[in-house]
Amino acid sequence: MDAFVNRNSLFWELTLKLEAFTHTVPVPFAVYYAIITQKMETEKWMIFVGLCIGFATGIGLLGTVLRYFLIKNLFAKIEKIKVPEKGSNIDYTYRDRDYAKSVKLYLFKYPLVEAFIIVIRWFSGVIPIISLYTYIVEYTPSVIRSGFFTLAMIPPISFVTYYFISENSLRPLFTLPQIKNIEIKPDEIPRFDYFKRILISFFSLAALPVSVLSYILYSVSSGEVRVEQPLVPIVIVSSIFIIPLIVCSYVVADTVRQGLNETNRSLNEVAKGNFDIVITPNSGDEFGQQAFVLNDVIQKLREMYAEIIGLNESLEEKVKLRTFELDQSLQELRKLKFQQDGDYYLTYQLLNPLGFQDVQSEKVTVDFFLRQKKQFEFKSNQYDIGGDINIAHSILLKDKKYLLVANADAMGKSMQGAGGALVFGAVFQSLVQRTRINEAFSQLTPNQWLSTSFEEMQRVFEAFDGTMLVSTVIGLLEEETGTLYFLNAEHPYPVLYRDAKACYLEQKNQYFKLGTLGSLPRIEATKIQLNPGDIILLGSDGKDDLLIAMPDGENEINLDDKLFLREVESKGANLSQIFKGLSEVGTIIDDFSLIRLEYMGVTRKQELFSKDGKQLYKEAKRLYHRGKTYDSIRILQNLVEAESNAGPRLKKELAKLFYVYGDLSSAASYGEDYLKVYRDDLEFGYFLSKVYKKVGKLSEALLLAESIRNRAPKKSKYLVHLFHLYVKNAKNERAAAILKDLKIIGLPLEDWEALASLLQ
């Protein structure tokens, strides 16, 4: 009798919940929208409504009857399983055990049965309605479209809701004595994890508004919507969105809540010391799988508890035995550590000579700073190893003296990183030696040398099949002119320290780390012009990997990319002071390496200004700030003759001062002299081109502006200036071409339209 009552209870619970959901929202909504989107006579409309109501009722009754027999069959199977008496275990035969297991596994599958049946019911109702209407009445495209709309919108949400409601209603059956003690394995349960559940739920909910809005928009555009009171469809649309959302959200949340409650209940029992508890999985989600894991944990705790009791019975003897075993293990560990430190020391000995500084220059100073994260002791001496490496050499290319510098960071910790740095250092040193002894390589241009060397190193590291990756910055500094060429392969940007201000130097092309499989693009170095007194800092990401203590006591990784720039400015680009300052801000958690290049512009035995020249230069600046521009110009003109080392710099300043003073011819003259020495100063070239324009030298202005455009084709202000020059020279076709380029690089629309109006 109990089984019969439980069977009826389950049947009515499922029927009321499932059919109430179906016939409260989806069915009325589908019928309603099928009606209002049909333009047909009253007689045809009545036939269509009759078919909809008739099939909805019939399919609903058939679904209910089918559920009754499914539940009845389920309980009949359960009743055939032997019920164990209290305190006893049933020894199932092989055949009985397989039958009992199949019944329990069917309980896991039953929610899917309900979910698929409701989908089949919808298809079994909608398709015959469309077919019969077409056969009895006539072929009507709007009727067929309404059917597709219904099948796109209703079955997905019905599938999700039926599954979760059925699963929640079936949970009590897993506690029945016939079912509870049947053993099954985790891989035997039909899996329906929460990734799939949430994905399908979101998809089904999203199908509602997408289908409805698409169908309404189409019906409105084709004039098929029959709506006299807009408020009615608004209320119905709101209901069909909100009610399924609430129902679906509730059943999903209720499923999670029940799983958490079961887990919490089990853990509370374990916390009380009850290791005899057995958790019964009752769903195909993560909570069902978690039940197996918890059972394994409880079993291990039970065994550990028994072992502890056994230890207490003979504690002293076992403590001595365990102490002896630990002492033996400690001796083994000491031997292993000594061997490991020996390996570290050997790697250190191999790596140390590769971090080489072989620079002979009177115009550039080079400083290294390196702190590897892995510290070790070998024969009472302290050493460190890691994946960072600094290298600097003086080489000749086309009979010009260059400073070659590289900062690299091999991926991995300790030995792995050191191995990558070792390979990088060995390959890089071989490239340097080859350049010195092989005339063919010493005749390459800086860009060719960097490109060729990068490609060769990439091929070497590709041989490790992606297991050894190295980020690096490699640069060539021409000592005579101060032109710096560099390549950056996923390394932190170099920092330029100029006039007490620090900024990052970005490159126009991005390259992957050395060793990245399949990455060998066309290599082109980035070029910048250094001024006397400029400082370049190259460093690995260790300078940014800081663990910072927060006010709430937690530690967070530094995310402020301007922090390093502020330290550079506050410490005057002093490497040891930068390291000390960053160490005070937070804990450095990675290898830390920096290279400092200072371009003097003159030999170390010379200064930019003499002692008297420095005073006169300061006096000129003071006069300018007091508004006495002409007096400042006179002093700088005298300094140009007296201070040859500072000549180019002074001519640049004189050009700007004459521009302010209004003597544009003198500004152009001094600007030309400066640009002959520093051709790569694009910003000054832009300034000089504007001066040419004002003095009427339009051909010189155009020539210089085109040269700047070739080297900076995406700089909008350079292109705008060139556009105005072409317009002023009545070369509208070329101006129009510049206008297209400005549109491509994203010039603001209002600015672009203002320029375009000049061509009309």
Provide the pLDDT for residue 222. Answer: 67
Q: How far is CA 704 from CA 670, 722, 739, in A?
A: 15, 9, 19
Q: What's the chain's average pLDDT?
A: 79
For residue 147, the tally of other CB atoms under 10 A from its CB is 20
In this model, does residue 463 exceed pLDDT 80? yes
Q: Could you tell me the pLDDT band of residue 135, with boundaries at 50, 70 and 90?
A: confident
Which residues make Cβ contacts (< 8 Å) with residue 220, sequence separation at least 6?
Answer: none
Provide the pLDDT for residue 334. Answer: 67
For residue 373, the tally of other CB atoms under 10 A from its CB is 19
Provide the pLDDT for residue 476. Answer: 94
Provide the pLDDT for residue 4. Answer: 41
Q: What is the CA radius of gyration of the chain?
A: 41
Provide the pLDDT for residue 604. Answer: 41
- How buried is 306 (Cβ within 10 angstroms: 0-12 exposed, 13-18 middle, 19+ buried)? exposed
Q: Could you tell me the pLDDT band of residue 50, with boundaries at 50, 70 and 90?
A: confident
**Arithmetic mean of pLDDT, 495-519:** 86
**DSSP helix/strand/coil, 393:** strand
Between these two residues, 352 and 615, which has the higher pLDDT value? 615
In this model, does residue 510 exceed pLDDT 90? no
SS3 of the chain: helix, strand, coil, percent, to 5: 65, 10, 25
Provide the pLDDT for residue 114. Answer: 84
Q: How far is CA 657 from CA 634, 700, 722, in A?
A: 11, 21, 24
In this model, does residue 218 exceed pLDDT 80? no
Q: How far is CA 322 from CA 80, 315, 319, 325, 691, in A?
A: 54, 10, 5, 5, 89
Instruction: Look up tokens 């389920």; give the residue.
Output: 74
Q: Which of 171-185, 434-448, 695-709 has the lowest mean pLDDT?
A: 171-185
Share of the chain above pLDDT 90, in %: 7
Provide the pLDDT for residue 475. Answer: 93
Between these two residues, 170 and 219, which has the higher pLDDT value? 170
Residue type, 558: N
Q: Which of 10-19, 57-66, 147-156, 604-613 has the lowest mean pLDDT?
A: 604-613
**DSSP helix/strand/coil, 30:** helix
Q: Could you tell me the pLDDT band of residue 3, with boundaries at 50, 70 and 90?
A: very low
Provide the pLDDT for residue 30. Answer: 64
Structure tokens of 338? 């000594």
8 Å CB contact between 105 and 183: no
Share of the chain above pLDDT 70, in %: 82
pTM, entire model: 0.42
Structure tokens of 64? 């209910």
Q: Could you tell me the pLDDT band of residue 335, with boundaries at 50, 70 and 90?
A: low
Provide the pLDDT for residue 605. Answer: 42
Structure tokens of 164? 């979760």
In this model, does residue 504 exceed pLDDT 80? yes
Provide the pLDDT for residue 556. Answer: 84
DSSP-assigned letter for residue 524: -
Q: Could you tell me the pLDDT band of residue 1, with boundaries at 50, 70 and 90?
A: very low
Do you know the residue count of the chain?
Answer: 760
Of 124, 253, 238, the residue nearest 201 (C-alpha): 253
Residue 391 CA to residue 536 CA, distance in Å, equals: 15
Provide the pLDDT for residue 411. Answer: 87
Which residues make Cβ contacts (< 8 Å) with residue 147, sequence separation at least 6?
Answer: 34, 126, 127, 129, 130
For residue 264, the tally of other CB atoms under 10 A from its CB is 10
Of 332, 453, 323, the residue nearest 397 (C-alpha): 453
Between these two residues, 321 and 744, which has the higher pLDDT value? 744
Between these two residues, 491 and 323, which has the higher pLDDT value? 491
In this model, does residue 417 exceed pLDDT 70? yes
Which residues make Cβ contacts (< 8 Å) with residue 460, sequence separation at least 6?
Answer: 423, 427
**DSSP helix/strand/coil, 260:** helix
Of 287, 292, 289, 297, the residue nearest 264 (C-alpha): 287
Most confident region among 146-155, 571-580, 608-617, 669-678 by mean pLDDT = 571-580
Give pLDDT tens digits for 615-668: 888 888 888 888 888 888 888 888 887 776 677 778 888 888 888 888 999 888
Residue type, 177: P
Structure tokens of 369? 């700073």
**DSSP helix/strand/coil, 242:** helix
Between these two residues, 576 and 603, which has the higher pLDDT value? 576
In this model, does residue 158 exceed pLDDT 50? yes
8 Å CB contact between 169 and 14: yes
Residue 601 CA to residue 678 CA, distance in Å, equals: 12
Residue 606 CA to residue 362 CA, distance in Å, equals: 9
Structure tokens of 516? 């990245």
Give pLDDT tens digits for 228-238: 666 666 666 66
For 381, the enclosing helix (H) or strand (E) is strand 381-385
For 382, the enclosing helix (H) or strand (E) is strand 381-385
Provide the pLDDT for residue 118. Answer: 84
8 Å CB contact between 193 and 286: yes
8 Å CB contact between 658 and 694: no
In this model, does residue 670 exceed pLDDT 50? yes
For 416, the enclosing helix (H) or strand (E) is helix 414-437
Structure tokens of 112? 């899917």
Provide the pLDDT for residue 92. Answer: 52
Which residues make Cβ contacts (< 8 Å) with residue 612, sequence separation at least 6?
Answer: none
Provide the pLDDT for residue 180. Answer: 73
Residue 660 CA to residue 657 CA, distance in Å, equals: 5
Most confident region among 48-62, 88-102, 349-363 by mean pLDDT = 48-62
Between these two residues, 97 and 470, which has the higher pLDDT value? 470
Residue 301 CA to residue 273 CA, distance in Å, equals: 10
Pairing status of strand 495-498 against strand 483-489: unpaired
Most confident region among 329-338, 347-356, 743-752 by mean pLDDT = 743-752
Provide the pLDDT for residue 2. Answer: 42
